[in-house]
Amino acid sequence: MTKPINLFEYESLAKEQLSSMAWDYYRSGAMDEITLHKNRTTFEQYQLYPRMLVDVSHIDLNTSILGQNLSIPIGVAPMAFQCLAHPEGEIATAKVTSNLKTLLILSTLSTTSLEEVATCQSHNLRWFQLYIHRDKGLTKALVERAELAGYTALCVTVDAPVMGRREADIRNQFSLPSPLKLANLVTMTDLTIPQTIGESGLFAYFQQQIDPSITWKDIEWLQSITKLPIVLKGILRGDDAILALKHGVKAIIVSNHGGRQLDGAISSLDALPRIITAIDNKIDVIMDGGIRRGTDIFKALALGAKMVLVGRPILWGLAVDGETGVAHILQLLRDELALAMALSGCPSLAEINESFLISPKS
């Protein structure tokens, strides 16, 4: 097999490797997939505005987030069920992020336990993504396990009090094939993704288990039971960002859940400047959604993000070539970002700013 040379080629090859149910689960968005596609097309609306005659013989990609040093401003977003893509799943992803010294956010709904993932990393550049379940005792136990295993932040997903309507999953009656399981939950409560007729099993799980009543008081409750910093994933409005600041949140991930929740919602990139203006550099801001090229990362950083997270492309890498595929995905993005910086006249991340973009409103 000829080695893919970009993320789009990985996506095409991944489709050939995955079952139709797994492919549809990973690829699809909510309803008409308007937001899913908008996440990509918004990047195309910004033009790069490079400067010349700058010494770019050395490109510095180092950054930090919540005081932790990273080798690249590219982390891995929390994604459920990675073992659907490859038997090594989350283990392969964890090994790659450890080798690259960059951030991994592990999903509550991972198919490998949070403890096992932690043992695969030589550092603690890992956060635990948390869904707040109806059973607060279960939620508290997950937080305690994450602390004990050396996770350094809790990433609370706030854009999924209920699950968006994902029609591909309904059509396929999505469920986890045996022997895959909810590795973080099965030993605690024997929770599983139910097999349902005419419905997505994951949708049924959310209806049964995830608490739709969560408010800012639940963020306060989490802060009362843990010393870990709280990161909120799914903020799209400036006023919500200000509330996050008031509630002591330490970082925000600007995200629309990869277009998988509210169809028609604003794209992550369009939401980013509003969040940056609202928080006025008081906390770190991360962005995910639609990243496929190094130039996409450059644009997100220029609009104020400290770093970006990559989701689906990691799954394509897993499906095509396991750990090696994931490593190549991140290497491609790293190299493309370094190239974009060099050709734009930006030798370091600190120098990237909005002056290097011509926005669609200009």
- What string of pLDDT tens digits covers the 362 residues of the chain? 689 999 999 999 999 999 999 999 999 999 999 999 999 999 999 999 999 999 999 999 999 999 999 999 999 999 999 999 999 999 999 999 999 999 999 999 999 999 999 999 988 999 999 999 888 998 999 999 999 999 999 999 999 999 899 999 999 988 888 899 989 988 666 566 556 555 555 556 666 778 899 999 999 999 999 999 999 999 999 999 999 999 999 999 999 999 999 999 999 999 999 999 999 999 999 999 999 999 999 999 999 999 999 999 999 999 999 999 999 999 999 999 999 999 999 999 999 999 999 998 76
20 in any annotated domain: yes
27 in any annotated domain: yes
Q: Could you tell me which residues are annotated as the binding site?
A: 25, 78-80, 107, 129, 131, 157, 166, 233, 255, 257, 260, 288-292, 311-312
Residues whose CB falls within 8 Å of the CB of residue 94, separated by 6 or more in sequence, listed in order: 104, 106, 117, 120, 121, 126
Query: Total domain count for the chain?
Result: 1
**338: how many CB neighbours lie within 10 A of its CB?**
18
265 in any annotated domain: yes
- Of 309, 19, 35, residue with least CA distance to 165: 35
258 in any annotated domain: yes
2 in any annotated domain: no
pTM for the full predicted model: 0.95
Query: ∠ CA(141), CA(144), CA(145), 5° rounding?
Result: 85
CATH of the domain at 274: 3.20.20.70
**Ramachandran quadrant class, 86 (left: phi over 0; alpha: psi -120 to 50; beta: rest):** beta
Q: Could you tell me which residues are annotated as the binding site for FMN?
A: 78-80, 107, 129, 157, 233, 255, 288-292, 311-312
Say if residues 233 and 255 touch (Cβ distance below 8 Å).
Answer: yes
How far apart are the C-alpha atoms of 290 and 311, rounded to whole Å?
9
User: What's the chain's length in residues?
Assistant: 362
Residues whose CB falls within 8 Å of the CB of residue 220, separated by 6 or more in sequence, listed in order: 247
Q: In the prediction, which pLDDT does 178 show?
A: 87
361 in any annotated domain: no
How far apart are the C-alpha atoms of 251 and 244, rounded to whole Å?
9
Query: ∠ CA(39), CA(253), CA(306), 5° rounding?
Result: 95
DSSP secondary structure code for residue 157 in this structure: E
State yes or no: is 37 an active-site residue. Answer: no
DSSP secondary structure code for residue 248 in this structure: T
Q: In the prediction, which pLDDT does 189 show?
A: 61
Residue-range definition of the domain harbouring residue 201: 7-356
128 in any annotated domain: yes
Q: Could you tell me which residues are annotated as the binding site for glyoxylate?
A: 25, 131, 166, 257, 260
Q: In the prediction, which pLDDT does 225 show?
A: 97
**64: how many CB neighbours lie within 10 A of its CB?**
12
Active-site hit among 123, 133, 247, 257: 257
1 in any annotated domain: no
